Chain A
Amino acid sequence: MSGTDLKLLGTKESLFTYRIVWALKLKGIEYEFVEEDLFNKSPLLLESNPIYKKVPVLIHGGKPISESLVILDYIDETWKNNPILSTDPQERAYARFWAKFVDEKFYEASIKAFFLTGEDQAKGVESIAEALQFLEGEIAGKKKFFFGGEAIGFLDIVVGWIAHWFQFVEEVGGFKVMDSMKYPAFDSWTKNFLEVPVIKENLPPHEELRRVFQGFQQMGLAAVGAKE
């Protein structure tokens, strides 16, 4: 049975797209993956996400949903098996708060550190370190994943890109923040996360990511408009 009723528009390197891939795979949902060329966007993408023209977009029964966090919520509400969010409102609020924090503070600081140089880059790096310290505080003392359980959930999926993509942001951007001595709990979390079968089997190859980030660096800040 093919998932023609469910399409995911994305790219094979987009960290935001992978959030959706992981969620769909965790729930065993069939879907059709449509690879987009972000420098030559398809009519389907432009029609489905006219506001941002970005990936990922989930199209369910012909109806499009954009923005990775919105899509994750929608998936959890529509397919109730293997929930990625807790049923407890306070835990859900916690996950949403930290997801927003990661997507704003950590991500934006990463963009700064990657594209800028000198003083501006240093400021970006400092912001990343601050954000990482907060995340370290949140994961320390938890058993394995962000909700203290054995299974990954919403927040692990949202933070997940840091476990695999971030090393190339550092390498190509020319800075270093991640440090297993300074952030031991986060380091443990990273190792545990990457061992989860659904994650392990669904990660873009290192060389691809390196190539993509090198491309972004050449484009400069204009790349942020086109990318993910």
Chain B
Amino acid sequence: MAEEGQEVKLLGSWYSPFVFRVRWALKLKGIQYEYIEQDLNNKSSLLLHYNPINKKVPVMIHGGKPIAESLVIIEYMDETWKHNPILPVDPYQKAMARFWAKFIEEKFTVARTLILDGEQQKKEVKQARDVLEILEGELKGKRFFGGDTIGFLDIVLGRIPGWLGAIEEVACIKVFDPIEYPRMKKWMDSFSELPMIKESLPPRNNLVQHFHKFRQHGRDPTTRTGFHY
């Protein structure tokens, strides 16, 4: 069993919103760690060794042992470093947070619009908007999904403030209308203004450039496999 004080490493990539979930969680708990940037188009032996199943980031290595999958990592963190809990403490509230996270993971797959066209792209956009509408309802009178301070769901949804704009730009779609989703708009602003978020988000231009490349490769079936977003 790894202990609190043991060394923490994080394998990540600068553009992955999943990696950012873990980085924000680490920041919230004030945990020191070594960040190791990965090139997902030229995978390191380190990554292949520690995550041979998915070969993806993020991977946390704690006391030499790997943990993969962003949400699994965050649950692990809450159980290992018990201060500043990210998930609710009450079992029912925790179950609700986990349910919403699963729903978002499954249904908010808007990045696919980067490599889809026509009807398929329209379907993906509609699905994203349906999710936003449901989330709009869930925010009812709360500043953050976690209440007065950010919690698990806010972290899970962090890719909306940071990434959605760039995706919309490159895929030439409109998903987020601030007039249709006023609570979500407020949430996005509050979230983005938090110092720890503001100083960490990747520059939009860099993301746009990266997504253009992804879109190019993704729409060509011969190069699609292995090119990572």
Instruction: Report Cα–Cα, A51/B76, bound state, in Å.
Output: 27
Instruction: Report Cα–Cα, A215/B27, bound state, in Å.
Output: 51
Closest residue on chain A to residue B54 by CB atoms = A101
A211 proximal to B (CB < 8 A): no
Contact A74 B75 (CB under 8 A): no
Candidate in A63, A89, A93 with the most chain B CB atoms within 10 angstroms = A93
Instruction: Report Cα–Cα, A97/B103, bound state, in Å.
Output: 17
**Those of A92-116 within 8 Å (CB) of chain B:** 92-93, 96-97, 100-101
A70-B79 in contact given A51-B134, A65-B95 (Cβ < 8 Å): no
A41-70: contact bitstring with B at CB < 8 Å (1 yes, 0 no)? 000000000011000000010010111011
Contact B65 A70 (CB under 8 A): no
Total chain B interface residues with beta-carbon distance under 8 A: 24
Query: Interface residues of A: mostly helix, strand, loop or mixed?
Result: helix
Expressed in whole angstroms, the minimum distance between the Cβ of B76 and any Cβ of chain A is 4
Contact B1 A93 (CB under 8 A): no
Query: Interface residues of B: mostly helix, strand, loop or mixed?
Result: helix
A171 proximal to B (CB < 8 A): no
From B68, B80, B98, contact of A70 by CB (8 A): B98
Contact A93 B75 (CB under 8 A): yes
Contact B103 A51 (CB under 8 A): yes
How big is the A interface, by class? 20 to 34
Contact A93 B99 (CB under 8 A): no
A residues near B179, Cβ cutoff 8 Å: none
Closest residue on chain B to residue A98 by CB atoms = B53
Contact B73 A93 (CB under 8 A): yes
A90 proximal to B (CB < 8 A): yes
A residues near B99, Cβ cutoff 8 Å: 65-67, 70
Instruction: Report Cα–Cα, A158/B147, bound state, in Å.
Output: 32
Contact B92 A89 (CB under 8 A): no
B102 proximal to A (CB < 8 A): yes
From A52, A73, A97, contact of B95 by CB (8 A): A73
A40 proximal to B (CB < 8 A): no
Expressed in whole angstroms, the minimum distance between the Cβ of A118 and any Cβ of chain B is 18
Closest residue on chain B to residue A71 by CB atoms = B95
A218 proximal to B (CB < 8 A): no
**Those of B86-102 within 8 Å (CB) of chain A:** 91-92, 94-96, 98-99, 102
B194 proximal to A (CB < 8 A): no
Instruction: Report Cα–Cα, A52/B102, bound state, in Å.
Output: 11
B residues near A63, Cβ cutoff 8 Å: 92
A residues near B68, Cβ cutoff 8 Å: 97
Contact A92 B102 (CB under 8 A): no
B72 proximal to A (CB < 8 A): yes
The 17 listed contacts between A and B (C-beta, < 8 Å) are: A51-B103, A60-B92, A65-B99, A67-B99, A69-B98, A69-B102, A74-B94, A77-B91, A78-B91, A89-B2, A89-B76, A90-B2, A90-B76, A92-B75, A93-B76, A96-B72, A100-B72
The 5 A-B pairs with the shortest beta carbon distances in the complex, nearest first, are A89-B79, A93-B76, A77-B91, A74-B95, A93-B67
Extra pairs beyond A88-B1, A96-B72 (10, CB < 8 Å): A60-B92, A65-B95, A67-B98, A78-B91, A89-B79, A90-B65, A92-B75, A93-B75, A93-B76, A96-B75
